[in-house]
A and B are shown apart, each in its own frame.
Chain A
Amino acid sequence: EVQLVESGGGLVQPGRSLRLSCAASGFTFDDYAMHWVRQAPGKGLEWVSGISWNSGSIGYADSVKGRFTISRDNAKSSLYLQMDTLRAEDTALYYCAKDSGLYYDSGGPTYYFDYWGQGTLVTVSS
């Protein structure tokens, strides 16, 4: 059974940092790209960042570029999101999601997020 378990969320002051983790199990982690998707309270889904199977290609939403860093450790089947210089507008539930393919930026009809974690809540407030 595929499982994605996020951790690391919490209350943090504006300008501070936080590191999210996602522990994966039930599938061959290094066969798939991974993503972070967030959802602000009462709002829709926003793609945040993606990383290919071998960390060879990485992408970010414009809203977090230069402040967030995605990484993965295939030996530990884990995905990370280092979030620096946090802002109030980063407050959201952060989901880890498994891609159906190897590369986070593949385009085509068979690329989708087939498994999601339950999310970890990040609240940025003074």
Chain B
Amino acid sequence: KAGVTQTPRYLIKTRGQQVTLSCSPISGHRSVSWYQQTPGQGLQFLFEYFSETQRNKGNFPGRFSGRQFSNSRSEMNVSTLELGDSALYLCASSLEQSARTDEQFFGPGTRLTVL
């Protein structure tokens, strides 16, 4: 079974631009979660999607948004990029609706650099 894939792997943007990251979960997995990892703040939960609906949201500004498609693939978008948005963005998929008991399978991440 193919793992979680994320594209692109690396991205360089400038302040004020917007960016879209993509995540394809493991086949059959319906829940997709996004995390931001920075040296200063560590790993922080962004949001979770299940059946094309946002089910959970972390404490991030509205510039961070996401969506999920009918095939469970998910995208996250960051608008009006700031230098502090430079981070590794990790996507994780799990089989069931809630991440409470399931192991989450993580992708390799997209490293975003904002100049």
> Is the pairing of A and B real?
no
